[in-house]
Chain A
Amino acid sequence: MQEGTVLEMRGICKAFPGVRALHNVDFTLRAGEVHALMGENGAGKSTLIKVLTAVYTKDAGEIRVAGAPVHFKSPQEAQDGGVGTVYQEVTLCPNITVAENLFIGRGKSPFIKWKGMNAGAKAILDSLGIPAMPGQQLSSCSLAVQQMIAIARAVDMDCKILVLDEPTSSLDEDEVKKLFSLMRDLKARGVAILFVTHFLDQVYEVSDRITVLRGGELVGEYVAKDLPQYELVSKMMGKALEDIDEIKNTQAAMESGEEYLFEAEGLASSAGISPFDFHIRKGEVNGFTGLLGSGRSESVRAIFAADKVTGGAVKVKGKRVKIDKPIKAMKQGIGYLPEDRKADGIIADLSVRDNIILALQVMKGFLRPFSKAEAQAFADEYIAALNIKTASADTPVGSLSGGNQQKVILARWLLTHPDYLILDEPTRGIDIGTKVEIQKLVLRLASEGMGVTFISSEIEEMLRTCSRLIVMKDRHIVGELAGEQLTQDDVMRTIAKGGRADA
């Protein structure tokens, strides 16, 4: 064992039904370092963390803390064993005081000694420079301070290993700075920090080492300052520069003469993306690309007004319109297939037929329902057209496979005959055959004059379907690629180089 190693994970394997989430992953954490765990969506980062903190049980492999093998049975046990975890969502209780959050659930005394507790809390808060008072209700603190309090609790419980799972995703820049200085402070005290984030710049700001995972496998462990950002991106996306297989866009480049379907200027939403300009022409397939968390979903959500629109002007077919609610976007002929089909898309207990006619019914108004025969005709037409594999139109959507559920939502939007369709990760979690079918469908729709905006975590898929790519990084648009530039190499270079538009 190396000097100073506090955590060793060797040959970790974890499988879920049908998915190999982790395969033979090694991970080493040393005392007093900040170690970033990087990878795209589905790379296995959170699975690895959850194996470590005993939220999941590993299928194979060995975990050693300070040299001794450990077998945690619960997150609580992991915490007692010196592995403190702070999750993306603050896992403290908002309705009780800061001091209580630091000390509740610890100790054995059946009574509370408020004075002692508050004094203890004050000492911890002061020593870590956290701007909060012990007697303050937690919900009156900012999110960053709440995160820090969660960290302080973990540190005070004598953790040698601190796991930070995307702690910065809901913080603004100032708050991130405060958090980072706290992390550096802890590092100086010899705490080993495992840090997960999607923001590339943040990784380089605080991390000493970077471990990259891809598709559940270990890509490698690197010293942060020896790994240029560009190489990191290519390692995460999975193609080294040399062997990039140039995939030509099958779609003919769009003639620039076609009319604009949709234009936006300075569009901003409550989701925290910087205002952006955007347009799409008739028959065009374009896409927002960037790493997960770069703001690509937030951008299309702003177009559809799925998040609260806070600024900017939009034109549909050259006419100024106001889109502040999804229903208005729908009435302007815009369809949106959301990223999380479970949360935002399908209604699992309703039948395939009812799910398909849902959007059209909303536009028509609920007081004028479709007759059963009409609904059945619509459903049958699209079940056939999209090759949806279902026992009948009456089957509840929840019992279909992921790919077929996705097709049902697609059918729902196609039925409204939109001029402009937004597809956010339509192919995630579905089998390769259905993926290709959906890609083909997208291209066919475009050739019929529809405008399509396509988002996917798989860059190959984007390159294959889109004629223009808008590249995002850290919630800003950092570039736009079209024609000859549509290569994986260019996308990665744009992401790696891309600075802030306003910096």
Chain B
Amino acid sequence: MTKLKENRVPLSNANLLFIIAAVILLVMYLFAIALFPESFTQPQTFFDLFNNNAALIILACGMSVVMIGGGIDISVGGVCGLVTMSCAVFLQSAGADVGRSVLLALAIGLAFGALQGFLIAYLEIQPFIITLAGMFLANGVMTIVNSTPIRVELPAFVALFETKLKIAWLGTVNRHGMFIPCKISISMLIAVGVIVAVALLLKWSRFGRNLYAVGGNAQSALMLGINVKRTRFLSYLLCGLLSGIAGYAFLLTTAAGNVGNASGFEMKAIAASIIGGTMLTGGVGNILGSPIGALSLLTINEIIRAAGIDSNIQTIISGFLLCFFIVLQSVIIWLRDRSGGFKLQRPPWLKASLRTRDGEAP
């Protein structure tokens, strides 16, 4: 009994949800390929999901951070839009350069994160209310900064915008027999970099582990000697910073500022986090799940769009699918908690075959 226990560590809920999310994405993508083989078999289609939605993926990442800490941040979409607009306006002004526009983006994100984090962590005000106020503030400031669409024409920026990394060994052959390599935009690189950095931070840093503890049980975390307030503050600060980065990534995908920029992204980010296995109750989640959740959401939309369904129906179907996945997750977690020992195990027949193959004694 003890021996058997030593061999296998039961899967944690966070990892289980992550696996479910990954399987969901895989199944959905295979489904998409089955329905529309000509478009979804092209690797570029997959990369474009990333290329065109880097901002959302980064926002989902930040959202996951605060949700793991047991909070929520409704302002991410607003801050992202504000950053995009502000940077666009700045880049169009005289004497602007790309470097300072990046600093501006980071500064706006950090400012929002710091202010909201302070109010939530140290003054203990409901995160929902504070960040809702933050969203209104960001939207308001954005329309003051500029309310008309604005295109960025600074050559240095346009060059950056048009830079695409080509993958020489991956691509498709077009009708004329020409090989077209897959392209990756700068924004996608930023998104990948952010995901890796945040995932490492949460796994290997003291802050990251404290964040999980605080989200799991803040009272216990306090008793365990964790600085709960500082941990919460840092989580909102990080989320704000990521919103700033997301805003810049958005600008890199559109090269334009628009009042409608990133509107509604906060809800999409929450949905992506949840599908990716982060629980609203806090303490459970995996940063790698947020891009997976976001891609699942985007794949749903792509399928619906490719099927030529009315855009009004689109949101309804997205809603139903989201609901379905969440219920699926809850059911699995519930089954696991109820039985006390629900574990992912190989079915007996597979186990037997593996044993004989490995030559292991049964």
A contact residues vs B (CB 8 Å cutoff): 75-76, 79, 90-97, 100-101, 104-106, 109-112, 114, 131, 133, 135-137, 139-140, 153
Q: Which of B9-17, B125-133, B160-168, B349-357 contacts A (4 or more CB under 8 A)?
A: B9-17
* Known A105-B210, A110-B207, A111-B206: A91·B9 in contact at CB below 8 Å: no
Would you list the 9 A-B pairs with minimal beta carbon distance, nearest first?
A105-B225, A95-B216, A95-B283, A137-B12, A93-B216, A105-B224, A93-B213, A135-B9, A91-B223
Query: What are the residues of chain B within 8 A of A140 when measuring CB–CB?
Result: 10, 12
**CB of B311 closer than 8 Å to a CB of A:** no
B225 and A112 within 8 A (CB): no
* Residues 1-33 (chain B) with a chain A CB within 8 angstroms: 2, 5-6, 9-10, 12-14
A133–B283 touching, CB < 8 Å: no
Determine the distance from Cα of A153 to Cα of B204 in the docked complex, in whole angstroms: 21
- Given the contacts A91-B220, A92-B224, A93-B283, A111 and B13 also touching, CB distance less than 8 Å: no
Q: CA separation between A90 and B221, bound complex, in Å? A: 11
A79 and B225 form a contact (CB under 8 A): yes
A-B contact sample (13 more), CB < 8 A, given A104-B209, A105-B224: A91-B223, A92-B217, A93-B212, A94-B216, A94-B217, A95-B212, A95-B213, A96-B212, A101-B224, A104-B221, A105-B221, A110-B205, A137-B13
B205 touches A95 (CB 8 A): no
Given contacts A100-B213, A104-B213, contact A95 B284 (CB under 8 A): yes
List the A side residues contacting B9 at CB < 8 Å.
133, 135-136
| Chain A proximity of B232: nearest CB distance (Å) | 15
A96 & B205 in contact (Cβ 8 Å cutoff): no
Closest chain A CB from B200 CB (angstroms): 10
Chain B residues bordering chain A, tally (CB within 8 A): 30
State the CA gap A105–B211 with chains docked (Å).
11
- Residue on A nearest B213 in the bound complex, by CB: A93
- Name the prevailing secondary structure of the A interface residues: loop
- B residues contacting A by CB (< 8 A) are 2, 5-6, 9-10, 12-14, 203-210, 212-213, 215-217, 219-221, 223-226, 283-284
Report A-chain residues with C-beta under 8 Å of the C-beta of B217: 91-95
Distance in angstroms between the alpha carbons of A114 and B9 in the assembled complex: 15
Closest approach, in angstroms, between the C-beta of A458 and any C-beta of chain B?
33
Q: Nearest CB to that of B341 among chain A residues? A: A140
User: Could you list 19 examples of A-B contacts with CB < 8 Å?
Assistant: A79-B225, A91-B224, A92-B220, A95-B12, A95-B212, A100-B209, A100-B212, A104-B209, A104-B221, A104-B224, A104-B225, A104-B226, A109-B206, A110-B207, A111-B206, A112-B204, A112-B206, A137-B12, A140-B10
Determine the residue in chain A with the shortest Cβ distance to B10.
A140
CA distance A8 to B225 in the complex (A): 26
Q: How far is the CA of A101 from the CA of B213 in the complex (A)?
A: 9
Contact partner, A110, options B12, B206, B213, B219, Cβ 8 Å: B206
Residues of B within 8 A of A139 (CB): 13
Beta-carbon contact of B10 and A93 below 8 Å = no
Q: How far is the CB of B213 from chain A (nearest CB, A)?
A: 4
B218 closest partner in A (C-beta): A93
Residue of B nearest to A97 (CB): B12
**Contact call A93/B207, Cβ cutoff below 8 A:** no
CB-CB < 8 A to B223: which residues of A?
75, 91
- From residue B305, how far is it (CB to closest CB) to chain A in Å? 38
CA distance A94 to B283 in the complex (A): 9
Shortest beta-carbon distance, A175 to chain B, in Å? 14
Complex Cα gap A123–B234 (Å): 33
Q: How far is the CB of B22 from chain A (nearest CB, A)?
A: 19
- Report if A133-B5 is in contact (Cβ < 8 Å); known contacts: A93-B221, A101-B224: yes
| A131 with B2: CB separation less than 8 A | yes
Q: Are B213 and A96 in contact (CB under 8 A)?
A: yes
Which residue of the partner chain, among B5, B12, B208, B220, contacts A131 with CB atoms under 8 Å? B5
Q: For the complex formed, measure the closest distance between the CB of A90 and the CB atoms of chain B, giving whole angstroms.
A: 8
How distant is the Cα of A111 from the Cα of B217 in the complex, in angstroms? 21
In the bound assembly, the distance between CA atoms of A114 and B204 in angstroms comes to 8
Nearest-neighbor residue (CB-CB) of A138 within chain B = B216
Contact of B224 among A93, A110, A136 (CB under 8 A): A93
Interface centre among A101, A112, A114 (most CB of B within 10 A): A112
